[in-house]
Structure 1
Amino acid sequence: MKKILILIITAVFAYGCEIDEQINPNAPALDGILQSASKAELNNLTAGAVAGMRNNHSIYVTATGTITRELYLFDADPRNRTDLIGTTGSLDNNSFYTTANWTSRYRVIKNCNILLEALDVAEADVTDAEKDGYRGFAKTIMAHQFLILWGAYFDSGIRLDVNDPDNPGPVVTNTSNVLDEIRTMLDDGLADLQGAEFAFRMSSGFAGFDTPATFAEFNRALAARAALYAGDMAAARTHLTDSFFDINGDLDIGPKMTFSTSPGDFLNDLFKPSGQNGNQIFASDTWVDEAQANDLRVENKVNQRAETFTSSGITVQYETNLYESAISSIDIIRNEELMLIYAEANIGFDNTEALAGINAVRSAAGLVDLAGTVTVEDVLLERRYSLWCEGHRMVDLRRTGNLNETYITFDNITTTDEDGNVIPADQEVFDKFPLPQTEVGS
């Protein structure tokens, strides 16, 4: 396994297709942290973990979104279209869309593992309650990163034991076992947060979730997502009760990844200025065409171009309008998603509550209330439009048995044969990314 290096506070990494190991010359020596860790050094590790969550997040979102044909990224690299829709036959296990997410998520996990290890040699002024705060933080952030890895690589497998990057544990391909471990990690993190104190400051994106008690609500929101993925609807309902879920609340409430124009910091790479052709995210025409009439989510999330645009045989006309600027925040998890988890978790249990959850979202989208019995298909439809371009669609279709060309509507993608005739292009639907080449056989 490629050695994963530490991220410290503002030691962020440049976006790009290829990921190279980088060392922060301003970071304290790792050996020193693991011999005697000051509170300031521990706090640097928490800040580094939060900063690292943003690294290559856009690649995960656009790659999974293209596989499900909810969006297309039109940039200089044709692999963002050809590979991901299967016109080349398979996904490359050494391409940026496979390796970038893996490397970035494990860097954050490594940061958290170092934080946990450093607590054993923390200086005397770090109290037991503060140590529990660091532990609860680290385990919650790690679980979030593992959930993204599970979503991307599924039964290709991920490594859960990476405490020693030079001698990592095995690649675990049993997806149920992986989810069980993630859920246990979240429960352990919750236990640590009880009676804990935070000696560190969270980023502004965690405003309202920056104390042990409110951060625990974020932990339970992630636990509800993980329970949903595991098909444990009873647990999902329980976790929602202990989260920040509010069926009458603001749909946008929740922790966020923040961005800035400060030197060395990140910009939101999912923001694309209107009118660009060479670096633009487009919604697939089918995402717009198959929407319910007068759905405000379509109106708010995309703009129609004056003329269609074609690249790699894909013709599109609706560009992203999801973010206002390059420093707009990105949701980690928000109340709108929790409402839809609530609706799905109540299917077959309490239809009145299932209707309440789904109709709270529909009402905000300007749609009439549903009546009758709520189905999984009903919830999937709302998730398709509420969570567009947020990295959820591939997991949603896969976990419900719908990640296939019967359920996914292919756009009209063409190619040219050897005689110069324009013909429909072959396409495939992938259900996961391959294990990165550096991990195969190691």
Structure 2
Amino acid sequence: MKNSNKIKILTIFFALSIAFSCSLNEGESLNGPQITSISEGLSRPELPQVVAGILSDMRIDMETERDVLSVLGREYWHLQSSDPGWGTELAAGLLSNTAFFINRPYTARYAVVKECNILLESLEAESTITIFSSDEIAAIRGFANTIKAHELLSVLNLVYQNGIRTDVADPDNLGPFETYDAALTTIAGLLDSGFTDLTTGGEVSPNTLGVSYIEFNRAIAARVAAYQGNMAGVLSALSDSFMDINGDMNLGAYFRYSAAGADQLNPLFIALNSGDTGAAVAYPDFIETPSVPSFEPGDTRLNKVVARADFPVQLELAGMAGAYDVWIYQSSTDPVGIIRNEELLLLYAEANMVTNPGEAEAAIDAVRAAAGLGVIGAGNVDEDQIIFERRYSLFGEGHRWIDMRRFGRLADINQSFDRAGDISPVPSQFPIPQSEGQ
């Protein structure tokens, strides 16, 4: 058994809506916080609370991460007069190791990793082994490693070549920083191990993502393989994912929100025509350059932005301005996509682009048809087309900065609407937070 002195209490803020609920005994409450100690082993009543808590905590500071990625990728400006650092620091390219832009998502993601590690440790306790079958333990382990891999990947995407710690199970003996490539290999290994365990053990309850944990695991594995340049790995992972060339583009895994009980509202929802106290305004070249358009007329993906009624009076914060509000989330309870069918089809196209262009074209055509556009035509799927489709299909979902970086094309991000003095090209990575002692 592990030394239980290392980890005494797992605190889970079980502030969830009915959407996050599981089968509860009569009289049990969904309201929290509930404190669940699993240091000596995991019980059946504790399991759904731990799983639901992890799913809920994955949402913490997700909005900061999405906004940061979108500003760096010049997808939209985040305007907030109460914190001009969004313009004077982040958009300017001055990435500090003390700024909340990196510290908040970094801390939040590692907090979830910690919860997953505690859950994994509890599976080695004698009492857990007595209560749960070997298949059930495999399923729980598969869930924990899948979520852990997702959270580590989120951190790695921010710090890139600076690397991350992947071995943080023992707070008194943290593992070394791994390079970007090594960390991707570790993350891929966690996903493969999780896939094997989930295949053996099946689902864990609750699951509010919208797809099975196996399908979610393989979808994230495909994303990781693309980052590694492993196109065969992309295709292998996609074969066990929820990818459906005939399916809805919005099929996929989501963070859920509600106004019920102690649950939280979607923090990325911003009302139209908000002032500079809080607005998300599309970077102008997404839709505002008719003389040299970067978009195709009739593309319904352009509906992710809406013309402002009062441009530009309220939006001249730190020299940043735009005429279109981001309108991806149209209510405070809209779910936020983690990974969707549309992304998987574009990964499939990317993986087939060289070796099987016909399959790549079919996937691109499915995406374009959903956006009201015509077929791409034989022989026209290349890196430029992949980048174009990903830009409009995945707008505001935290991909463009990462995509342009992994294709070696950060310098191609249009910064013609930037202010004098903004760093160009945009920086490629955040420094490791100062708290890590680096």
With structure 2 as the length reference, what TM-score do the two structures score? 0.88
Structure 2 residues not aligned, in runs of 5+? 1-6, 17-31
Match of 1:436 in 2: 433
Match of 1:16 in 2: none
Match of 1:285 in 2: 284
Using the TM superposition, give the Cα deviation of residue 391 of structure 1 relative to its aligned residue in structure 2, in angstroms.
Answer: 0.7
The alignment status of 1:140 with 2:146, answered yes or no, reads: yes
Using the TM superposition, give the Cα deviation of residue 37 of structure 1 relative to its aligned residue in structure 2, in angstroms.
Answer: 2.1
Could you tell me how far apart the structure 2 residues matched to 1:379 and 1:199 are? Answer: 35
Q: Equivalent residues in 2 for 1:411-422 (5 A)?
A: 411-414=416-419
Could you tell me how far apart the structure 2 residues matched to 1:5 and 1:322 are? Answer: 38
CA RMSD of aligned residues (A): 1.9
The alignment status of 1:304 with 2:307, answered yes or no, reads: yes
Structure 1 residues not aligned, in runs of 5+? 13-23, 415-423
Could you tell me how far apart the structure 2 residues matched to 1:280 and 1:158 are? Answer: 32
Q: Equivalent residues in 2 for 1:341-380 (5 A)?
A: 341-371=347-377, 372-380=379-387
Which of 303, 319, 324 does residue 318 from structure 1 map onto? 324
Match of 2:109 in 1: 105
Could you tell me how far apart the structure 2 residues matched to 1:294 and 1:180 are? Answer: 41
Percent identity of equivalent pairs:
37
Could you tell me how far apart the structure 1 residues matched to 2:285 and 2:148 are? Answer: 35
User: Which amino acid is the alignment partner of residue 415 of structure 2?
Assistant: F
Could you tell me how far apart the structure 2 residues matched to 1:384 and 1:199 are? Answer: 34
Using the TM superposition, give the Cα deviation of residue 131 of structure 1 relative to its aligned residue in structure 2, in angstroms.
Answer: 0.8
Using the TM superposition, give the Cα deviation of residue 216 of structure 1 relative to its aligned residue in structure 2, in angstroms.
Answer: 1.1
User: Which amino acid is the alignment partner of residue 399 of structure 2?
Assistant: H
Could you tell me how far apart the structure 1 residues matched to 2:399 and 2:9 are? Answer: 28
Structure 2 residue matching 1:311: 3-state secondary structure: coil
Whether the aligned pair in 2 keeps the contact of 1:9 and 1:44 (CA below 8 Å) is no
Structure 1 residue matching 2:308: 3-state secondary structure: strand
Could you tell me how far apart the structure 1 residues matched to 2:204 and 2:213 are? Answer: 13
Structure 1 residue matching 2:124: 3-state secondary structure: helix
Using the TM superposition, give the Cα deviation of residue 397 of structure 1 relative to its aligned residue in structure 2, in angstroms.
Answer: 0.5
Whether the aligned pair in 2 keeps the contact of 1:9 and 1:46 (CA below 8 Å) is no
Structure 2 residue matching 1:60: 3-state secondary structure: helix
Could you tell me how far apart the structure 2 residues matched to 1:320 and 1:165 are? Answer: 40
Using the TM superposition, give the Cα deviation of residue 401 of structure 1 relative to its aligned residue in structure 2, in angstroms.
Answer: 0.2
Match of 1:420 in 2: none
Taking a change above 3 Å as real, the CA distance of residues 344 and 191 of structure 1, as seen in their structure-2 partners, is same
Whether the aligned pair in 2 keeps the contact of 1:254 and 1:331 (CA below 8 Å) is yes
Match of 1:255 in 2: 253
User: Which amino acid is the alignment partner of residue 198 of structure 2?
Assistant: L
User: Which amino acid is the alignment partner of residue 427 of structure 1?
Assistant: I
The alignment status of 1:154 with 2:160, answered yes or no, reads: yes
Whether the aligned pair in 2 keeps the contact of 1:150 and 1:175 (CA below 8 Å) is yes
User: Which amino acid is the alignment partner of residue 271 of structure 1?
Assistant: F
Could you tell me how far apart the structure 1 residues matched to 2:117 and 2:43 are? Answer: 16
Taking a change above 3 Å as real, the CA distance of residues 99 and 116 of structure 1, as seen in their structure-2 partners, is same
Match of 1:271 in 2: 269
Structure 1 residue matching 2:339: 3-state secondary structure: coil
Structure 2 residue matching 1:194: 3-state secondary structure: helix
Match of 1:400 in 2: 407
Taking a change above 3 Å as real, the CA distance of residues 363 and 93 of structure 1, as seen in their structure-2 partners, is same
Using the TM superposition, give the Cα deviation of residue 41 of structure 1 relative to its aligned residue in structure 2, in angstroms.
Answer: 2.0
Could you tell me how far apart the structure 2 residues matched to 1:159 and 1:247 are? Answer: 37
Structure 1 residue matching 2:78: 3-state secondary structure: strand
Which of 234, 241, 244 does residue 243 from structure 1 map onto? 241
Q: Deviations over 1:207-227 (max 9, x none)?
A: 3x3xxxx32122111111110
Match of 1:427 in 2: 423
Which of 57, 65, 78 does residue 70 from structure 2 map onto? 65
Whether the aligned pair in 2 keeps the contact of 1:346 and 1:353 (CA below 8 Å) is yes
User: Which amino acid is the alignment partner of residue 372 of structure 2?
Assistant: G
User: Which amino acid is the alignment partner of residue 303 of structure 1?
Assistant: V
Whether the aligned pair in 2 keeps the contact of 1:42 and 1:118 (CA below 8 Å) is no
Q: Deviations over 1:150-183 (max 9, x none)?
A: 11111122110000123211122x2111111111
Which of 32, 44, 48 does residue 43 from structure 1 map onto? 48
The alignment status of 1:187 with 2:200, answered yes or no, reads: no
Whether the aligned pair in 1 keeps the contact of 2:12 and 2:53 (CA below 8 Å) is yes
Q: Deviations over 1:410-430 (max 9, x none)?
A: 14344xxxxxxxxx3433311
Could you tell me how far apart the structure 1 residues matched to 2:223 and 2:44 are? Answer: 32
Whether the aligned pair in 1 keeps the contact of 2:39 and 2:122 (CA below 8 Å) is yes
Using the TM superposition, give the Cα deviation of residue 231 of structure 1 relative to its aligned residue in structure 2, in angstroms.
Answer: 0.2
Could you tell me how far apart the structure 2 residues matched to 1:6 and 1:70 are? Answer: 38
Taking a change above 3 Å as real, the CA distance of residues 199 and 292 of structure 1, as seen in their structure-2 partners, is closer
Structure 2 residue matching 1:250: 3-state secondary structure: coil
Could you tell me how far apart the structure 1 residues matched to 2:134 and 2:380 are? Answer: 50
Could you tell me how far apart the structure 2 residues matched to 1:322 and 1:236 are? Answer: 27
Match of 1:17 in 2: none
Could you tell me how far apart the structure 1 residues matched to 2:163 and 2:135 are? Answer: 35
Could you tell me how far apart the structure 2 residues matched to 1:149 and 1:79 are? Answer: 21
The range that moved more, 124-133 or 60-69, is 124-133
Whether the aligned pair in 2 keeps the contact of 1:344 and 1:354 (CA below 8 Å) is yes
Taking a change above 3 Å as real, the CA distance of residues 197 and 315 of structure 1, as seen in their structure-2 partners, is closer
Whether the aligned pair in 1 keeps the contact of 2:79 and 2:317 (CA below 8 Å) is yes
Using the TM superposition, give the Cα deviation of residue 263 of structure 1 relative to its aligned residue in structure 2, in angstroms.
Answer: 4.2
Could you tell me how far apart the structure 2 residues matched to 1:437 and 1:318 are? Answer: 36
Using the TM superposition, give the Cα deviation of residue 11 of structure 1 relative to its aligned residue in structure 2, in angstroms.
Answer: 5.6
User: Which amino acid is the alignment partner of residue 201 of structure 2?
Assistant: A
Match of 2:182 in 1: 177
Q: Deviations over 1:175-201 (max 9, x none)?
A: 111111111110000110123144522
Could you tell me how far apart the structure 1 residues matched to 2:322 and 2:11 are? Answer: 39
Structure 2 residue matching 1:315: 3-state secondary structure: coil
With structure 1 as the length reference, what TM-score do the two structures score? 0.87
Could you tell me how far apart the structure 1 residues matched to 2:79 and 2:301 are? Answer: 22
Whether the aligned pair in 1 keeps the contact of 2:11 and 2:36 (CA below 8 Å) is no
Match of 1:222 in 2: 220
Match of 1:126 in 2: 132
Whether the aligned pair in 2 keeps the contact of 1:64 and 1:394 (CA below 8 Å) is yes
